Structure 1
């Protein structure tokens, strides 16, 4: 079927894939900047899986799963979940999430975390419907000041 949704894990970033990811980035964040060198480095990292959702061969969504060992076990974190605004509401984010959960279980993660802005109500409903539970914690961020 021509408009069938497929989910895969990217293994490389040719110019076409990079261009499609570059197109999605502004829909993810107004402040994020696309860097193809960082994308290439990310895809080479053993601990990172970039999931791509495609319809008719075109990337329409993406999400990143990072797994890492710490003294208390293998942990996972989901980041940068975005679906193209033109195809939202078709269950693509749910399929990306299901694929990441399956991958995390396959590699043996002890827990899988993600964060979401409170304003993303539909995303939060999806995460909760998928088994994620809100935690009573605070998220802190440190942003180093670049050297001149």
Structure 2
């Protein structure tokens, strides 16, 4: 099992296809953006892959931004292949994102997850994430 930060230089068509298939396990209905678009230099997104041999079995993304209240990161699209769940891959992905966040000097890491995703909630709380007492509002454009 290896972990790597994906870059435009290391992106291949095979990785794009594997990540697209993996993401469908999280949300088959969402329109996916290409990894080339995500990795664009002005996008400020770190894409972390977990591989077993050459197969992508897990992903996690971290977007960074600066606002008046601090330098923040937002975790999105954490997915572990169904066949690999229960092996600690999700925890390792999150720990790697936390390490990278500390390296670049983030003040805070945020994430959203559905209330029905009990295993994800258990993972995030075990890592020290706390539920904010605020509402999330969304407007589809």
TM-score normalised according to structure 1 size: 0.89
- The root-mean-square deviation of aligned C-alpha atoms, in Å, is 1.1
Whether 1:109 and 2:96 are equivalent positions in the alignment is no
Deviations 1:93-133 (A, max 9, x none): 00000000001111111110001101110110000000101
Which is greater in Rg?
1
Give structure 2 stretches of 5+ with no counterpart: none
Q: Secondary structure at the match of 2:39?
A: helix
Matches within 5 A, 1:50-69: 50-69=47-66
Q: Distance in 1 between matches of 2:63 and 2:121?
A: 20
Q: For 1:21, which of 19, 22, 27 is the aligned residue?
A: 19
Aligned to 1:33: 31
Distance 1:109 1:25 in 2: 26
TM-score (norm 2): 0.93
Deviation sequence 1:18-44 (CA, Å, 0-9, x none): 0101111210113112343xx202112
